[in-house]
Amino acid sequence: MSPILTPRRAAAVLATALLIPLAACGSGEKKPAAGPAAGATGSAPATTGPQAANLTVLAASSLTDVFRTAGAAYEKAHPGTKVTFSFAGSQELAAQVKQGAPADALVTADTKTMDGLKAETNDASVIARNRLVIATGKGNPFKIAALKDLADTKLKVVLAAPEVPVGRYSKQILDAQKIEVKPVSQEANVRAVLSKVELGEADAGLVYKTDSAKSGDKVVTVDIPDEQNAVASYPAATLKQSKNAEAASAFVAWLSTPEAQKILQDAGFQKA
């Protein structure tokens, strides 16, 4: 005989019936917790951090070779960051900045140019120094040995234009020694001066020591005594218009680190 369902027993049976499907839903295979992606070794995934970005750095022509080396070193140490350089005479770079060229940082070959861009740049810091030398044709056929030799009217001497930092430094040291030089041309940057000498289109020119050193045996370098020379300072700063402010600041700060300073000094630049 079936038991009589009292109201209380009927309620208990109904509750049990409702709990059975709920238990079934909860007893299925549990979804695995999120873990490393396929192929992961179990370590935390690499991250590029907030400093990762595509940076554009405007830099003086005399930094062309060393900054390519420095840029590669920086990218290796900062995965996810790409550094693209645009090299030109400092005065050309200044014009680009004033015209709003899309860039993140600026490095000039003199403090005067950088000082003229205070409205467009953040605080600047000197990251390297350089000195001038006389670059003469291969084998130094005219036996140039000192600044005073450049006054010889038989020589074809090329200088940078006065508005270019190296041109301004050249005028400074020549005027200080009361040496009058009539250049056959005045170039827009130091690399153009050096090229003229390398190609034999000029007998001599005043360039930075680091540029002359990169020419190997294409030119002969004649040192200028410290008391007759000028020191070129290279300030670096981030641009206020940069869309990658944090990454740009990180790169500019890195230029003063021991790693970057070694790269600069190995290339012949002097300590900042």
Average pLDDT of every residue of the chain: 86
Are 77 and 151 found together in one domain?
Answer: no
Give the residue with greater pLDDT, 67 vs 45.
67
pLDDT score of 12? 45
* pLDDT tens sequence across 202-214: 999 999 999 999 8
What CATH number corresponds to the domain at position 202? 3.40.190.10
Determine, yes or no, domain membership for 59: yes
Are 138 and 170 found together in one domain?
Answer: yes
Determine, yes or no, domain membership for 249: yes
pLDDT score of 51? 58
pLDDT score of 220? 97
Are 112 and 178 found together in one domain?
Answer: no
Are 197 and 223 found together in one domain?
Answer: yes
Determine, yes or no, domain membership for 8: no
Task: Tell me the average pLDDT across 160-186.
Answer: 97
pLDDT score of 6? 44
Are 59 and 99 found together in one domain?
Answer: yes
pLDDT score of 15? 42
| Structural domain containing residue 183 | 130-231
* pLDDT tens sequence across 12-52: 444 444 433 433 333 333 334 444 343 333 333 344 444 57
Only one residue has tokens 């396929």, namely 38
Whether the pLDDT of residue 112 is over 70: the answer is yes
Are 201 and 146 found together in one domain?
Answer: yes
Are 90 and 223 found together in one domain?
Answer: no
> Which pTM does this prediction carry?
0.80
Instruction: For residue 272, name the pLDDT band (cuts at 50, 70, 90).
Output: confident
Are 95 and 135 found together in one domain?
Answer: no
Q: How many domains is the chain built from?
A: 2
Show the 3-state SS of the chain.
CCCCCCHHHHHHHHHHHHHHHHHHHHCCCCCCCCCCCCCCCCCCCCCCCCCCCEEEEEEEHHHHHHHHHHHHHHHHHCCCCEEEEEEECHHHHHHHHHCCCCCCEEECCCHHHHHCCCCCECCCEEEEEEEEEEEEECCCCCCCCCHHHHHCCCCCEEEECCCCHHHHHHHHHHHHCCCCCCCCEEECCHHHHHHHHHCCCCCEEEEEHHHHHHCHHHEEEEECCHHHCCEEEEEEEEECCCCCHHHHHHHHHHCCCHHHHHHHHHCCCECC
Are 139 and 201 found together in one domain?
Answer: yes
Phi first, then psi, for residue 37 (nearest 5°) are -65, 160
